[in-house]
Amino acid sequence: MIKKRLFNTFNWIILCGSTLTVCMFLGVILWDIFSKGFSSVSWDFVTLFPTDGMTKGGILPAIVGTVILTFITTLFSVPFGVACAIYLNEYARPSVLTNIIRASIRNLAGIPSIIYGLFGLALFVQALHLGTSVLSAGLTLGLLSLPYIITTTEEALKRIPNSLREATLALGVTQVETIKDVVLPKALPGILTGVILTLSRAAGETAPILFTGVAFYINGVSASLNQEFMALPYHLYMLSTQHNAIEQVRPLAYGTATVLILLVFSLNIVAFYVRFKNRTQD
Amino acid sequence: MLFTNSISFFLKISPIDFFTGSQWDPETKYSMVPLLVSTSFVAVGSMIIAVPLGILTAAYLSELAPRKLQMFLKPVIEMLAAIPSVAIGFLGIVLVGPGLAQLFNSQNGLNALNGSILLAIMALPTIVTISEDAINAVPKSHREAAIALGANKWETLFKVTLPAALPGLIAAVMLGLGRALGETMTVLMATGNAAAIPKDFFDSVRTITATIAIEMGEVPYQTTHYFALFAIAALLFLITLAVNFIGEYFANRLRKFHA
């Protein structure tokens, strides 16, 4: 009896223990970065240009670079992704072909991001002669985001009951109008959640932009599409591994990490909120 | 694109050297063996850590945790998935590295073990989420039948529910492994990047992804070295594709089984 009870307690401990360990990982990560990072984050830090060989000053160009980059990614991947999902879910009849398309999309999502980087380098930078620029990098990230956007949008469209579509069709509305005026508005919160989560992922990616246009330092804020740019994740990478005064810039690295994580988390929280609101409405 | 560039590489360097040599030394020797061994070292290490943790956490979440705790834990796991890989790599340098160095009295903690720990953290959300879905998909009648036969909660969990969820669990592990294999920034920052065949987990390693990231920035276009990097990228692509296909296959089986 005692043996059995011990066994039960043991089981309970390993299950709870592993869950706690997983939570602890998040706790340790956030605590370490935030506790050391917040002291270097200030208004000046986010609004000033880096000075003195990156050892002082702020990270404004990196923030602006990341925002512009994410914007280009959005412009490229959202229209294509949503259109693709609408085709797959609303128009295409289930067939071997659509199954193959879906399987390829899922596999595209599993391709390592560095391979997207190489692909972007070969296609956008060299074959299309866009050079290493914010445009090339944005398009590369757009390619990376497409599979996620298609999958999440399709999931959102699937949740719209068919009776709704049939009802509007019975009223004599064409299919295009049904999609435009009934299905899409109803699926919008779901699509939005997917898009925001995907973009938050894209904003934190480093590997795909390494060779397609990111730079450690540029003069001023990148203004045109064919210039190189600075980005937060790359800035953090350079500050923590490549800088010649690593110990000296450590506070700046912590600060950059804090800003990056806050940016990604705020996007996530917006997405959670949209999803939560959508669920409570139903 | 990936493959035409790789073919240009094999026109210059014989595939035999590529697959059997033991040195990756740009300019002269291109062998992917050290890189492949490094990659597998780190990936397998991360799975040893992440698989038990991930599956047990999923079991706790779906079978034991009260509803309110579930509502709290799920966002925690999604947050863990949202942390950018550079930030995790950064922690590998400032936190895990020095910690390991102190623990094992080594020079620095930038080695395969460090990379494995960090990759485990990155693969955990994938493993937990998919395993949890798999465990939830096991019909309630299975559990009820086991309990009716006199099995207690634990026997039900370990002997009925988890085995029934096995295809889903395999899918979870495979997709987690795919993520670990393809991760670049974390391993680039935390594993030390010595391109030699590692002997144990305390050796510094350099994975395929890290090699591409380090060397691509410096090579002139259209050289043998440039093509070599495309060749290892193609290899990595095929490996992750295979791993994902296996995961996908088991996930589909699960879907059909419960449909």
Q: What pLDDT, in 10s, does the model give residues B110-159?
A: 777 888 888 898 889 989 988 988 888 888 888 888 888 888 888 888 88
Which chain B residues have a beta carbon less than 8 Å from that of A22?
53-54, 57, 76-77, 80, 124, 128
Distance of alpha carbon B244 from alpha carbon B46, whole angstroms: 17
Do A187 and A96 share a structural domain? Answer: yes
Give percent of chain A with pLDDT exceeding 70: 91
In the stretch 37-76 of chain B, residues with CB closer than 8 A to chain A read: 52-54, 56-57, 59-61, 64-65, 73, 75-76
- Backbone φ and ψ of B24, nearest 5°: -110, 105
pLDDT at A1: 66
What does each C-alpha distance from A155 to A107, A178, B53 come to in angstroms?
17, 18, 29
Q: What pLDDT, in 10s, does the model give residues A104-158?
A: 888 888 888 888 888 888 888 888 888 778 888 889 999 999 999 999 999 889 8
Distance of alpha carbon B198 from alpha carbon B142, whole angstroms: 46
Do A86 and A22 share a structural domain? Answer: no
Distance of alpha carbon B240 from alpha carbon B194, whole angstroms: 23
Do A163 and A83 share a structural domain? Answer: yes
Specify the amino acid at residue A224.
Answer: S
| Tokens standing for residue A221 | 């804020």
Contact at 8 Å (CB) between A78 and A172?
no
Check CB contact under 8 Å for A264 and B217: no
Secondary structure element (H or E) that encloses residue B25, with its range: strand B24-25
Task: Tell the burial category of B144 from Cβ atoms under 10 Å away from its Cβ (0-12, 13-18, 19+).
Answer: exposed
pLDDT at residue A90 tops 80: yes
Are β-strands B24-25 and A50-51 bridged in parallel, bridged antiparallel, or unpaired?
A: unpaired
Is the CB of B175 inside 8 Å of chain A's CB atoms?
yes
Task: Provide the pLDDT confidence category of residue B198 given band limits of 50, 70 and 90.
Answer: low
Are β-strands A56-57 and A50-51 bridged in parallel, bridged antiparallel, or unpaired?
A: antiparallel
Do A255 and A161 share a structural domain? Answer: yes
Nearest CA in chain A to B74: A23
Q: Which residues pair with A229 in a beta bridge?
A: A214
pLDDT at residue A222 tops 60: no
From the list A115, A250, A260, the residue facing B84 with the nearest CB is A260
In the stretch 201-260 of chain A, residues with CB closer than 8 A to chain B read: 201, 203-207, 210-211, 233-234, 236-237, 240-241, 250, 253, 257, 260
Distance of alpha carbon B9 from alpha carbon A249, whole angstroms: 40
Is the CB of B152 inside 8 Å of chain A's CB atoms?
yes
SS3 category, B113: helix
Q: What pLDDT, in 10s, does the model give residues B62-88?
A: 888 788 888 888 888 888 888 888 888
Do A142 and A261 share a structural domain? Answer: yes
Distance of alpha carbon A58 from alpha carbon A40, whole angstroms: 10
In the stretch 204-223 of chain B, residues with CB closer than 8 A to chain A read: 209, 212-213, 216-217, 221
Distance from CA of B239 to the nearest CA of A (A): 10
From the list A111, A253, A257, the residue facing B240 with the nearest CB is A111
How is B54-70 classified by DSSP, letter by letter?
Answer: HHHHHHIIIIIS-HHHH
What does each C-alpha distance from A59 to A68, A220, B83, B154 come to in angstroms?
15, 11, 20, 53
Check CB contact under 8 Å for A264 and B82: yes
Distance of alpha carbon B139 from alpha carbon B164, whole angstroms: 9
Dihedral over Cα of A71, A75, A79, A85: its sign: negative
Count of other CB atoms within 10 angstroms of residue B179: 25
Contact at 8 Å (CB) between B108 and B194?
no
Distance of alpha carbon A226 from alpha carbon A132, whole angstroms: 7
From the list B82, B94, B175, the residue facing A265 with the nearest CB is B82
Cα dihedral value B1, A194, A260, B50, nearest 10? -80
Which chain A residues have a beta carbon less than 8 Å from that of B237?
111-112, 115
Distance of alpha carbon B42 from alpha carbon B207, whole angstroms: 8
Distance of alpha carbon B18 from alpha carbon A207, whole angstroms: 25
**Domains held by chain A: number:** 2
Name the residue range of residue A122's domain.
Answer: 43-281
Check CB contact under 8 Å for B90 and A126: no
Rg (Cα) of chain A, in Å, rounded? 23
Contact at 8 Å (CB) between B189 and A237?
yes
Contact at 8 Å (CB) between A160 and A86?
no
Q: What pLDDT, in 10s, does the model give residues A232-276?
A: 888 888 888 776 676 777 888 888 888 888 888 888 888 888 888
Do A146 and A11 share a structural domain? Answer: no
Do A272 and A153 share a structural domain? Answer: yes
Check CB contact under 8 Å for B87 and A261: yes
- Backbone φ and ψ of B205, nearest 5°: -125, 165
Q: Which has the higher per-residue pLDDT, A57 or A84?
A: A84
What does each C-alpha distance from B251 to A239, B130, B166 come to in angstroms?
41, 9, 10
Do A9 and A107 share a structural domain? Answer: no
The predicted complex's ipTM stands at 0.83
Q: Shortest CA distance to A234 belongs to which of A248, A220, A214, A218?
A: A214
Do A93 and A14 share a structural domain? Answer: no
Do A133 and A200 share a structural domain? Answer: yes
Distance of alpha carbon A84 from alpha carbon A81, whole angstroms: 5
Do A229 and A138 share a structural domain? Answer: yes
Task: Provide the pLDDT confidence category of residue A78 given band limits of 50, 70 and 90.
Answer: very high
CATH of the domain at A222: 1.10.3720.10
Question: What b/e sequence results for A214-223 when a residue is b if at least 16 CB atoms lie within 10 Å of its CB, and e otherwise?
Answer: bbbebeeebe
Do A189 and A91 share a structural domain? Answer: yes
